[in-house]
Structure 1
Amino acid sequence: MLRSMTGFGQALRQAGGYGIQLELKSVNHRFLETVVRIPRQWSYMEERLKKLIQGKITRGRLELSILMERDSASVQKAEINWPLADAYLAASRQLADKYSLDGKLAIQDLLSIPDLLAFKEDADEIHLVEEAMTDALQEALEQLAAMRETEGAHLHADIKERLLSLRRRVALLEELAPAVVDDYHRKLKQRLSTLLEDRSIDEQRLALEVALIADKADIMEEITRLKSHFDHFDRIGEGSEPAGRKLDFLLQEMNREANTIGSKANSAEIAALVVEMKAEMEKIREQVQNLE
């Protein structure tokens, strides 16, 4: 089954005094790249979440965004940073003594000190939030995978139609291949007749020349390899493993065979077919670039 690299998933959870909103999206990328956007307080969860994604996805650029909102009804425990408060008070006394100042620090002054108060989460609540995050990610991954499979099925259908078109053109090449040698034989004989005028043509020498050209212009080996590539392409497409890179490599091989056919066969009809085939291969390549 072919899978697209584009998809989207989302999930909502409520746990440990937090509302959790998670979104996961993927786009095309040569390799697997995972970007996690999460509140700094929970950044230690990043590697754990990345491993979950990497266990399900093999290719694409994944962007995971998590928004956390504290419930208004939940209660947090505030802890005072006593060493910091003591340091501020000591510094204020030193300033007052040195410059003969009479001002005193009020409670609101102390509370305005950055990082004086630290709000600690309950250990049980932290565990609930962590489990809710991973559970939400699993749900989003399932949605994303389903979307990638659906899109992959559409791409596969289009690719199969184009592959069938290539098979038809290769069948035409097989029909035209013998005529290439016959046409060369006829044209060469006509040219020699014109050059030699009344003198007779050495049929044995002519046959040898035609045989040499026939060997150089024979495209049956390339046609056989193309048909083999088509069959391999079909088998990969029906498999369960990620196929994007393999199919891309096969397309390169198919394109190489088409180029060889075009250069070997001195035929306008075959050249036209090769151009059509290369155009079709390019369209398939564009689709394959979207596959995992």
Structure 2
Amino acid sequence: MPEQPYPHLRSMTGQGRSEVSSEAGTLVIELRSVNHRGLKLVLRTNDALSAHESEISAGLRGQIERGTVTVHATLKPPPGQDLPRINQAVVKAYASQLAAATGQQLSVPTQIDLSALLTLPGVLTGDRDDDCDDAQVEQRRQLVAEGVALAVQRFNHMRHHEAVAMARVLQADLEMIGGRAQTILGLAPTVIQRYRDRLTEKIQKALAEQHLPTDPVDIIREVQIFADRSDISEELTRLASHLELFGGVLAGTHAADQTRGENDAQGAANEAVGRKLDFVIQEMFRETNTIGSKAGNAEIAEHIVEIKCAIERMRELVQNLE
């Protein structure tokens, strides 16, 4: 079976559902997530799972790094055990107190509507853990662990599938930026040459009108000042470094990731790669902006506009990555 591309990437949006059954009943868990700077869990459970919310939360936090995750979890007890049970001791206590109150204090015949007693607090017991024995509680705990694991597995599978599609688009834009940066690198020397030619022509024309000799030293000095001011070689070098770093983090081959070792593959998979990529994109945009402002050339400016458009597309996609 071929290896899946970008195994460490996950989208922050996705959904997953599991339905598992045992002697404890049938458990249904649904996960849905949207973007968020950190991890925010929104748990919505029925009474049967109220005591297991911390277990559900712990199981999710170990597998999800970022996003707002809404969890719908419902446990339905087995047939015959899903009906509320009457606490006979509580009913007798209510009946005894009502009989005493109506018979002795109010001096009226004692007539108690038993159906009305069912609406009083504590008469009907549900399916909470308080109403279960230790064996039933343990069965529920195991069912919760199984259901959470399966829901997360399907949830992550969908998120990975979406992330792979985004990664391919990011890689295409990355290659496009790299190509245009190389083009700009080739155009940079011609900018200085063109400036020198235009400056020489203007100076010679102005001096000729005044019948004055041309001093090449002055032209060289002015060209040197312009060359220093418009030198973009350092920015292009840093941009190339950022592109390489972005590609390495995207592919999971960056040196910092390789130091984890094979035994920590799961930790690498769960790391919030999106934060790294978002930071690198900020640096890419900063260098690109500086190149555009320093170059002072229409042809280079055209390439800069295309690079900025690509960076903005990449920024939107990266903000969807975990």
Aligned counterparts, 1:106-117, within 5 A: 106-117=113-124
Q: C-alpha distance in 1, partners of 2:197/2:16?
A: 66
Q: Which runs of 5+ in 1 are unaligned?
A: none
The secondary structure found in structure 2 opposite 1:182 is helix
Q: Deviations over 1:97-122 (max 9, x none)?
A: 55443342143333342322324223
Aligned counterparts, 1:107-186, within 5 A: 107-119=114-126, 120-186=131-197
Q: C-alpha distance in 2, partners of 1:86/1:248?
A: 65
Q: C-alpha distance in 2, partners of 1:69/1:205?
A: 90
Distance of aligned partners of 1:170 and 1:112 in 2 relative to their CA distance in 1, 3 Å threshold: closer
Q: C-alpha distance in 2, partners of 1:77/1:275?
A: 68
Distance of aligned partners of 1:256 and 1:195 in 2 relative to their CA distance in 1, 3 Å threshold: same
After superposing the two structures, state which structure 1 stretch, 212-221 or 150-159, moved more. 150-159
Distance of aligned partners of 1:122 and 1:256 in 2 relative to their CA distance in 1, 3 Å threshold: same
Q: C-alpha distance in 2, partners of 1:250/1:158?
A: 17
1:251 is aligned, of 268, 274, 281, to 281
| Residues 152 and 291 in structure 1, CA contact (< 8 A), matched pair in contact too | yes
| Residues 26 and 62 in structure 1, CA contact (< 8 A), matched pair in contact too | yes
| Residues 37 and 64 in structure 1, CA contact (< 8 A), matched pair in contact too | yes
Q: C-alpha distance in 1, partners of 2:120/2:33?
A: 42
The Cα of 1:282 is off from its aligned counterpart by 0.6
The Cα of 1:80 is off from its aligned counterpart by 2.6
The Cα of 1:7 is off from its aligned counterpart by 2.1
Aligned counterparts, 1:203-242, within 5 A: 203-239=216-252, 240=268, 241-242=271-272
Give me the CA root mean square deviation.
2.2
The Cα of 1:194 is off from its aligned counterpart by 3.7
Q: Which runs of 5+ in 2 are unaligned?
A: 1-5, 253-267
The Cα of 1:6 is off from its aligned counterpart by 1.9
The secondary structure found in structure 1 opposite 2:72 is strand
Q: What amino acid does structure 1 have at the position aligned with 2:272?
A: P
Aligned to 1:71: 78
After superposing the two structures, state which structure 1 stretch, 105-114 or 64-73, moved more. 105-114
Q: What amino acid does structure 2 have at the position aligned with 1:148?
A: R
> In the alignment, does 2:52 pair up with 1:52?
no
Q: C-alpha distance in 2, partners of 1:70/1:24?
A: 21
Matched length: 292
User: Structure 1 length as normaliser, TM-score?
Assistant: 0.91
Q: C-alpha distance in 2, partners of 1:136/1:62?
A: 16
The secondary structure found in structure 2 opposite 1:37 is strand
Q: C-alpha distance in 1, partners of 2:117/2:320?
A: 57
| Residues 16 and 126 in structure 1, CA contact (< 8 A), matched pair in contact too | no
User: What percentage of aligned pairs have identical amino acids?
Assistant: 32
The secondary structure found in structure 1 opposite 2:15 is strand
Distance of aligned partners of 1:268 and 1:102 in 2 relative to their CA distance in 1, 3 Å threshold: same
Distance of aligned partners of 1:112 and 1:287 in 2 relative to their CA distance in 1, 3 Å threshold: closer
Distance of aligned partners of 1:163 and 1:245 in 2 relative to their CA distance in 1, 3 Å threshold: same
1:24 is aligned, of 6, 24, 31, to 31
Aligned to 2:262: none
| Residues 17 and 74 in structure 1, CA contact (< 8 A), matched pair in contact too | no
Aligned counterparts, 1:256-275, within 5 A: 256-275=286-305
